[in-house]
Structure 1
Amino acid sequence: MSAAERITTPFTADSTAAEVLDGVDLTGRRAVVTGATSGIGVEIARAFAAAGAEVTLAARDPDTGEATAEDIRATTGNPRIAVARLNLSDQGSVAAFTAGWQGPLHILVNNAGIVCTPELRTREGWELQFATNHLGHFALATGLHPVLAATSGARVVTVSSAAHLSGGVDFEDVHFRHRPYDPALAYAQSKTANVLFAVEANRRWASEDITVNAAHPGAIRTRLTRHLSRDEAERAAAGGEFPFRTPEQGAATPVLVATWPPLAGRGGRYFEDCNEAAPHEPGAHSGVAAHALDQQAAARLWRLSLEMLAAARHA
């Protein structure tokens, strides 16, 4: 993709979600944000609420979700903040969420995630980072597809990471059953899967007026990094590899991708710093890797994901 074809906006890495939505009216729009009780998820939800949207916080812990909802109501003056239980590593929980949704859905932000966990597995035997970051959101989005398709101009945003640069999807051993487990490589694989999902979902759903994109929020000091040691986090910051941003700045790119009017119908892309990313250059810590936009890999991941979910349902 040439520089002339990349989408640019008036916003930058320093922009906040509130600045992106300044003057935007989301009254009448309904949004779901996963991982909305901490980090950038709270600020994504708060920005939507401040612009008038009805927002559902999808949370593992409903009590924490309600406390967050009350905070958002108080700071925005918007009473239309709901809470629904969702555990992305539990396919039963995802199925219950999608079955319980009623009415239109204009915005789905797949934000929740875990990073660099010890080797852990779901009841299906799936590696936990891939199961949570990709398969959980895949099941959520495909489960909500009928309501997204029935809603004019729906958008899906999948939050990815620059970590995707470190590795693609190992289709021969997605769940580290044969290769040694590497937490960073497992995280990178799940974040590449997030981008590949956006590529294939947009290809499949664009004709239904659904726009799907991936967004990298930048590095934020949140609970997401709790499995990194203090030394690892500080080295990354001091070395300039991942300059840390505020949660409000981190929320800006996902919020822009979810709402910016000129992006209507322009999907299957990866955004960072509030603009579409350039191709990754060797040695850089930015840009989008070719393996994350590979259409054949995206289609293969979609098929594999469907097979995994079907096998889980019939187990």
Structure 2
Amino acid sequence: MTIQEYKSSNSKLRMSKIKLLNLKDKIDGNEMDLSLCNLTEVPVKDLAAFPKVTVLDLSCNNISSLPLEFCSLSHLVKIDISKNQLTVLPDDLGRLSNLHHLDLYNNKLTILPVSFSQLKNLKWLDLKDNPLEINLAKAAGDCLDEKQCKQCAVRVLQHMRILQDEVDKERERRLQKEKELEKKKEAKQRERETKEREARKREKAEEKERKRKEYNAHMAALAVQEQRNKRKEEKKRRNGQLAADKKAAVESASKGRRYSLIGLLWKLLFLLLLGLAGVVGVCQLAELNEETGCVPINSAVGNALSWVQEQEVDLRVRELVQEVDIRARELLQKLSSLAPQLLKSFSPTATMTDPVETVEN
């Protein structure tokens, strides 16, 4: 068993002995005397059961500290805890607001809690035979009689109030510093958030710009593709037009050739007819009608005219045939009148210098 465990077991044993004691036997009116009980701890819970007790005597024990719960015994007016082993008092000692008399003689205290300044009703204090801090010892002075003990209470309260003010100021400075640090922290946080917002804004702007460029590039590509398609369509149209023009030219040339051939054939037919008419005219009106070559021609023409006249056709047709016959005879007469000259021009005795008469219609 270690020393600490031994002390703890002894403390529990002593507390059990205290509980065995009848605290009521320790009460005399409003006073409770627990001196010389070899206590190391204060039975706070048991004391709280007697709120009418205002005077408590804990002197001549082995108490080294007071629990925090001791400060809740605010009904106490006088406390004697002299000749113990106290090294420190609880921080909330100022909660004993009704305390008038406090005897801390012959302990091991060096300082008092700052809350000691809140004991506004304290009128009597004894701090003799404690290893007090120098300034506190000067403030406490001697406490050899009633008057000095009362002055000790006043001076110590003043000293503790000064310390309290300093503590408050220090606390205020600390709080102010903490507030400033908090403000700086908040400012840095806001600055960081602002930078993050600006960064996000820039990222969004860059993303938007990138999308806009992609959109423009896409639209430009579509425009180029559309332009290419238009050029292809235009090329197809031009090729189609060229093909159509070529086809039309070929067709036109073919048609022209066809028309020129037909025209040539018509011209040849006309010349043939003209020649035939000339031959018929020569055979009918010239002195050559008795020639061997003209006899069958004259016979065929006569038979054709007779056949037409013999046919039973309309009067208008007959008139047309007669008109054609008359016009043909006139044409033949003209051709017969020109026949000698034509024959003469084509005779072997004719020269290139022989004049040719002008034909008058």
Please, what TM-score do these two structures have when normalized by structure 2? 0.22
- 1 or 2 for the larger relative contact order (CA 8 Å, sep ≥6)? 1
Larger % of helix: which? 2
Larger % of strand: which? 1
- Larger CA Rg, structure 1 vs 2: 2
Please, what TM-score do these two structures have when normalized by structure 1? 0.25
